[in-house]
Amino acid sequence: MIPVEKAINTVWKTARLLPTEKIGLLNCHGRVLAEDIKTPFDYPPFDRAAMDGYAVKVDDTYTATKNKPVLLQVAGEVQAGDYRRLRLVPGKCFSVMTGSKLPEGTEAVVKIEDVKITGSYIKVFRPVKKGENISFKGEDLNKGKIIIEKGTFIDSAIVMMLAYLGKSKIEVRKQPQISIVPTGDELIEPGMRFTGCKFYNGNGYGRCALVKENGGIPHVLGVARDNEKDLTNLLKKALDYDIALISGGVSEGKFDLVTNVLRVLGVKKIFWKVAEKPGKPVFFGKRSSTLVFGLPGYPVSTYLSFHMLVKVAIKKMLGYKQPEKLFLYCTLSTDIKNNGDRASLFRGKIIPANNENFFIPYHKQKSGMLSSITETNGLLVVEKGVSIRKGQKVKVEILRSSKPDITNPGKF
């Protein structure tokens, strides 16, 4: 058996970067940047008003009080988008709008709420400080500086920044095309009549969702039955994709035929069996540029194996710098002991209470208990032979961040 961390590092090193492509700004959300983004200009590109108000000289407001306001003549109005070259002189002011270019010589902007308009004059009731309510040229971004590095996931904030920088075409990594082949005579499709000796194809649909969540494009090729002919026909097709994802049939039972069929099809084994529970019988191999994962058939095992290993390969292909995991330091709610021969992956709930987070291990930890995934949001890895006492602080990976609400996440 290969240790978990060694398996993760092996997958990361084996996976290749995919080629890049240029796509439109509206389509880049959810993709990964394949270029460094530099600012083509200072931002803001000029000194601008941060509030609606009046551009003034500081000395002109020095003596202003509520009872004895200063009177300034309005020399004109500047709207956003007005690029006239104007100059402010002592004793006068300009009406300015939020985001508008400030006249040369402006030292501050007095808010419109702090003045009273009297014909072509304003009354200022308090002194202003130099730089007040001004957004200065280049205070946010400097021309030529890299502000978004390649390997960055493009979320809504990144899209907004790209648009502000005038980028209409974005270079991104191509998304890995991933074939999905569940195996087993016992599988039926959702919607079909349920019988006591059959199971719905949860792995196929769950795997499809996991691939989408992590930036890949799934291709469900159908269920392969437990015979060499059917397996061979489907796995031949599966090997034409960037990643072939197979579930079931990778252990050592009479009908676990996948590893042998893959060998016959020319797939080179890199490792088989990982020292983790659940998820031991994982196969990882390669044929040409195609990565091949054979995952266990039990739902929890396949889910966690995807999370621990397949996701790593997808992230590498997409151009991420390194695998990222979100974690929380939590107080353990009960004693835990791992008496097994490999690392145990304990699922549980992260519960915030009294300004700290608690980790409550789920009461069902068997690999066939799908509820240990759907009812939890955290994963605690406990190495073999390790005991952890109630009340100790433990580092818990956030497995599913949608429930419940959690506080103070970090990264490692």
- The pLDDT, as a whole number, for residue 157 is 96
CATH class entry, domain 48-135: mainly beta
- The pLDDT, as a whole number, for residue 354 is 87
**Predicted confidence (pLDDT) at residue 302 exceeds the cutoff of 50:** yes
Sign of the dihedral through C-alpha 47, 49, 50, 55: positive
**Mean pLDDT value of segment 62-70:** 95
Domain 326-411, second-level architecture: Beta Barrel (2.40)
- The pLDDT, as a whole number, for residue 257 is 86
CATH 3.90.105.10 boundaries in the chain: 20-41+142-173
Q: Which residue has the tokens 């904030």?
A: 157
- Entry pTM: 0.83
CATH 3.40.980.10 boundaries in the chain: 4-17+175-318
Decide: 270 and 14 in contact? Cβ < 8 Å.
Answer: yes
**Mean pLDDT value of segment 11-28:** 97
Where is average pLDDT lowest: 157-166, 242-251, 276-285, 351-360? 242-251
CATH 2.40.340.10 boundaries in the chain: 326-411
In the predicted model, what is the mean pLDDT of the chain?
A: 91
- The pLDDT, as a whole number, for residue 369 is 87
pLDDT tier, 161 (very low <50, low <70, confident <90, very high otherwise): very high
CATH 2.170.190.11 boundaries in the chain: 48-135
- The pLDDT, as a whole number, for residue 194 is 76
Whether cis (ω within 30° of 0) applies to the bond prior to 3 is no
Q: Which residue has the tokens 């002109």?
A: 60
- The pLDDT, as a whole number, for residue 279 is 86
Where is average pLDDT lowest: 42-51, 92-101, 135-144, 202-211? 202-211
Where is average pLDDT lowest: 182-196, 232-246, 295-309, 325-339? 182-196
In single-letter form, the type of residue at position 4 comes to V
Domain 20-41+142-173, second-level architecture: Alpha-Beta Complex (3.90)
Q: Which fold has domain 4-17+175-318?
A: Molybdenum Cofactor Biosythetic Enzyme; Chain A (3.40.980)
The number of C-alpha atoms within 13 Å of 239 and in the hemisphere containing its C-beta is: 18
- The pLDDT, as a whole number, for residue 254 is 56
- The pLDDT, as a whole number, for residue 334 is 95
**Predicted confidence (pLDDT) at residue 252 exceeds the cutoff of 70:** no
Q: Rounded to an integer, what distance in angstroms lies between the CA atom of residue 179 and that of residue 221? A: 7
Q: For the chain, what's the residue count?
A: 412
- The pLDDT, as a whole number, for residue 224 is 86
Whether cis (ω within 30° of 0) applies to the bond prior to 44 is yes
Question: Residues of the chain with pLDDT > 90: what percent?
Answer: 76
- The pLDDT, as a whole number, for residue 323 is 59
